[in-house]
Structure 1
Amino acid sequence: MMWVKVELKLFIWVLLVLSLVNLCIGFDPVDNYLIDCGSSTNTTVGNRVFLADSTNSPILSTPQSIFANTSTNSTSVTYGLGLYQTARVFNGTSVYTFPILKHGRHWIRLYFFPFVFQSVNMSMAKFSVSAQNFALLANFQPESDSVVKEYSLNITSDNLVVTFKPAENSFAFLNALEVVSVPDELITDDAEKVDKSGKFQGLGNQALETVERVNMGGPLVSPTNDTLGRTWLPDQDFLLHKNLATFVSKIGAVKYAAGGATRDIAPVSVYGTVTEMNSADDPNSNFNVTWSFDIDSGFDYLVRFHFCDIVSMSANQLIFNVFINTVLVYKNLEPSQIEANLATPFYMDFTTGLSGSTKLLVSIGPSTSVSDAYPNAILNGLEIMKMNNSKGSLNGAGSGSLTPGTSSGSKTTIGLIVGVIVGVLVAVVLVLVLFLFCRKRNRKLARANHSKTSWIPFSTNGVVSYTTGKNFGNGGIPFAALQEATNNFDESLVIGVGGFGKVYKAVLGDGTKVAAKRANPLSQQGLTEFRTEIEMLSQFRHRHLVSLIGFCDEHNEMILVYEYMENGTLKGHLYDSNLPSLSWKQRLEICIGSARGLHYLHTSAAKATIHRDVKSANILLDENLMAKVADFGLSKVGPDLDQTHVSTAVKGSFGYLDPEYYRRQQLTEKSDVYSFGVVLFEVLCARPVIDPSLPREMVNLAEWAMKFQKSGQLEQIVDPKLAGKIKPDSLRKFGETAEKCLSDYGVDRPTIGDVLWNLEYVLQLQEAVVPNDLNEDSTINIGELSPQVNNVTNGETRLGVSTVNDLSGASMSQVFSDLVKSEGR
């Protein structure tokens, strides 16, 4: 082993020494890995040297890779053409492990150019990339030309792990790779919020992806002319109205001041050029100069403005306003009040909050409150960086590393590989012994464990279940019994995959069908969610909530066992073409059942329980298509009676997340109502809530559907399988209900009880029990409605009032509570 360690240390030393060759004046990175993937020789790009890719690189673990090359040139390459002429191709999960000498923020730059190699077009590749616990790319398919993906991560461990995972029946590739230290002062820990609700804290822990980096009024700035190897694009292509802007260049005038912006913040070629208002010496000019940028919806963005007053002849001549998405983020900005000397650079950071749009607008314009100031406004540079979402993702997909054991423990990759091999051999022997042992005794162990467990059995719907008291650390169902029930967790029995882990169809020893949800050791939804699920489902019993049969907490395994739902998820029935299409009545009944389950959560105790992850994948259907709400791992007990909300970290699913909850981190029952409103439109349209393959205006279902609802054209986006089968009144009322659920502010949304009442009415309109559409201010006699409303729960509680108003106008949560509470009790 001694020669292996010496070889690894020598490789790392040579890599560091060679890659530190950087002639730029400025920051000298401690960690500076530059690799030309697939190349057998070093490649010099400007003043930087990208090292040849070693066939047996000790920092790369891969089952097999291919070195590819091409002589084709990419016409769009403006920097480092040689880097795009070779690539390393991966046919399996592959891991780069970079030793980190200095903790802190690092660049990760990934170079892609999908050329044709041996008749294979690499644009057909489809793969994911993660680093540490952040998902950088998911199901990425490179376009036809070159692209550089730049990320910035705060590394607090001794190793940075970058993982490439090809999609099934596909491959991954990489042309070049950079891992480079970043100055500590480049990203501070806070920034102003666009909504002016205070400062955003914790930027230092955010993973960032560079969306755009723009040099206003100047030419392209290549990595060679930037101390941190960044690329700054000209701003002309982003200007909405080029005739409103003019450009000035005075690079020699820039004076960096102590304690202010440095060359590492932005180079002199950025601060020395500017885009300003083209006012043509008109003192009455009053317009904004605006730039438009493409972004991904559903993310927060860090927007950095770079300013340097190189246009004024003296102080106090320049006063202007700054806008993000038409919001005034800085009023009466006067550069001479921030930096006393002219031509002295400074910058400002803002966070946008959750963006529901695919466009980000940045504008500058003259101040209207200062009459003696000549109308002008300037901008020297701009950076837009996407911030990771609550799941640690920069692409909207799930979070976390793609391979285990990638954080910080190993001293060397060789040691890790050897350890894994030895561990696997030992594990194989132990598994064989355990299997033979368990094969003989698992049934006895299961019966013995059931007789000693603290779980108390009782019957629900004819199925024997087990519920737990406060102490659930000892488990309830032996791991050996679940191994047998799932045929040792056979992949063919997987019926679902979520953030917690995989769900398996299983049959217990007594013949009971169950669903076993097994925790993935890489999941961020670990022990906390495991305990939360058990605690929640131990308190609640309701026909529209999935029942917990038991759990297992042995051998570092966390497994939750539920009643088996024969017809799977609502999501599967909406999207899976192999399943029968649901009728409109069936869909309404499923929505009504789901609303009943949520209403029980919100009202059955002194404090409401907020589900926090309402979505179609968490609505399950039994053999009769009766809906049951599932997955309570993110659930939260609601506020006390004298409070309006619970302050908590944002969790939920992308596309369903309440934007007000995301902005304020204040959770209420109305957050569930918003998510349920998204589900309603999902049920109506039978399409994913987020679909990046669609045109931009259609990507987000909630936004797209609301446009049609507000314009009175909802029938145009109904699932084609329902075309002509929904009565107009039923569709109108359904659309109104969903629209109210998606109100921007929680106070404007109905309670889930109100939603439930309206959905029952929607069903009545579809069933044509009510002969004529009722006016919003009319009254209806409950006796005229079908038994579905008169006897909401198959003969249980009757409503003790004769007339009620249609809930389009009035809240009926209290009345409706009387209808459903007896069912939940």
Structure 2
Amino acid sequence: MMGFGFSIWVLLLLNLACCSRGFTPVDQFYVNCGSSSDAVVGNITFVADKSATKYLSTPQEILADSNLNSITRADDSPLFRTARIFNGPSKYTFPIRQGGRHWIRLHFYPFSYQNYDMKSASFSVFSQKTTLLSDFTPKDAIVREYSVNVEKGDLVITFSPSSNSIAYVNAIEVASVPDDLIADAAQLYSSSGQFTGLAAQSLQTVARLNMGGPFVSLVNDTLGRNWESDSSYLKQPNLATSKSNIPAVQYPNGGATVDTAPPTVYGTCTKMNSDSDPRSNFNVTWDIPVDPGFQYWVRMHFCDIVSVSPTDSVFDVYIDTYVVYRDLELSTKLYGKLATAFFADFVTPVLDRPNVSVSIGPSPRSPYPDAFLNGLEVMKIRNSKDSLAGTSVLPSFPKSKKKLGIIVGVSVGVPVALILVGILFFMHRRRKQQQLKLSKTWVPIWVNGGASHTMGSKYSTGTTVSVGSNQSYRIPFVAVQDATNNFDESWVIGVGGFGKVYKGELHDGTKVAVKRGNPRSQQGLAEFRTEIEMLSQFRHRHLVSLIGYCDEKNEMILVYEYMENGTVKSHLYGSDLPSLGWKERLEICIGAAKGLHYLHTGDAKPVIHRDVKSANILLDENLMAKVADFGLSKTGPDIDQTHVSTAVKGSFGYLDPEYFRRQQLTEKSDVYSFGVVLFEVLCARPVIDPSLPREKVNLAEWVMKCQKKGQLDQIIDANLVGKIKPDSLRKFGETAEKCLADYGVDRPSMGDVLWNLEYALQLQEAVIQNDPEENSTNAIGQLSPQVGEFNHVETTTSVAQFETSSVDDLSGVSMSRVFSQLVKSEGR
């Protein structure tokens, strides 16, 4: 909430001058409460309460003077030297000449006066019928700011002491606001709809931040607002840096104005601290404390004072786990202009947590990873009970019958309420016990052999539902808690971009991997839904199996089959796991290729994974490979189309350059990423390694140079030196090279890749005369010299032979094998 320093009177300097430079309010009321004399602050005169008694209705005149010696920390503020104390419901009534939106600013500073101790005061404040504050006890100097819509007539502000307490206020401001400052509608980022009716809403300022700059007082704001520095809200300050260029700021025609935010806000920004590393891949995040149970209006201010040319900066913007702007390019919204003010408004769902986060991060489309934000405003929206604070009821003014009604209501209502609470508690406890009982009898998904798959209910009802029904995959939260020992931190086996991954065990002894979404994660509901839709649609030996999901209590939890040996990446580098042999690596690549080939060909429309990488290929206890993490997957083009136009998603180092350039997605984008994986498997090093010399930083670029020079054998994993047969290495290198062709049309299909990898394995196992390493049982007969070529006619038959038993892999497979995901899940 908006807490201001003890020298807050300085913030009021030159308010009238500011208003005259921009918007001039029709209605202006400034009251120095409790004082018998006016207080001049800058160019504003706060009139004495004595002069404002025509606005005030109170049962008793109590004008409190702090006595200068008693103020030790706010003695510079004339507004905090006095206060109006209320020992009963009291109200200020301000006549409004022009209906519309108005500021209400309430100044509080507690001090002791005679027998009144304001430091322990508790009270509520109302504007018309809206609760602004409920059982409020100011502990320090504070200003609360509200934006309310007032019909022409009177604006009434009521102060109501809590039981056996008092209420008080040090100063009040009421001033008109431009009606177009807040539009009537804003995007609901958690859904495809809009929040409408903002013009009629009462709002409370929660945070107003000047990114990358100092505190901006009302001296530099035409609407008398204060803008805090964002530094204390940054989640990881070391990831951010600031930039300033205030003189460059321009305002467009028909867009942001000086009333939207001043140049001192648009002319500074907080940006990614990525100057030293052109491969930076992180987000800059701000956490804003909020009250749960409310929706919030969020306005983000942008002004590109960072870029040299209009197309330099393309970045993503997030609120909580939702992407509100994918590939934001300000130049397209501002007709190619730099340093031009732009803002965007969003509304949150009702929040169930004490913070809202805003993040910016790089887009794969950007030629250089950078992102920035210039200003941020967060305002609370009143709830359905017309409250911005709590559940306080607007007091009735002196009528004895009404008082009696309140007493009778309380005396009867409290016992009834206690009885209702008891009944509800009993019902809740009973429902919890039944839920737990159900979770004890929960059984895995049983899959029948054959093409028509059904599965038993997760409960012991014996009913069957279609595999395609996502509802049938829902798991009770209590069952997930029980499986993970209530999300025991010692059971964590990995942390990824989505959240933590826990090892778990069902009641039948089946091991599972439980991926629990982190509310702060940038991978949110869209990825969660996609994962469920994709994995409930497909079943294959080389695709990781989804057991179920949980979306109770605002959780996003995915339960997978447990993969004993983790990721392929962890077996190549960065861990102390034993090195894999060449045959094992080939079999892993073949398994992953089968999974991808099935995705591309197993349905009427291909499914494109979009995030193929070694961290998303998992290994079971037998080192059998399974493709995982389908959160970015997308259905491919129709049969009469060549591609799907979509925003670029994927991981740096694996991203198809043609997809990046043209934003046209095809199955060949997966083929490119898989080609990078093949070279990663061969060389056992990261795909991007900034610690290496410049020419070696990008694995794909470096290996392709060596491949063209015929030097591939010189850069392979040291553990494989002397253990790969030349023909096998040649075929493997050619296969990976073709996957990395610049244009998708020149790349092989996953079926062709699969066939050639199988052939590379045959070449490795082929008996060479007098080869002591090979056993005669490995002989495969005479190999055709044409079998390794990328010939579509030949490979069609071969792929069919290889896939005869793997297109439908469920028949005869033990469910203890099918039930199990991730040992380690790295972020995207």
Q: TM-score, normalised by structure 2?
A: 0.50
Q: Which has the higher contact order (CA 8 A, sep 6+)?
A: 2
- When normalised by structure 1's length, the TM-score is 0.50
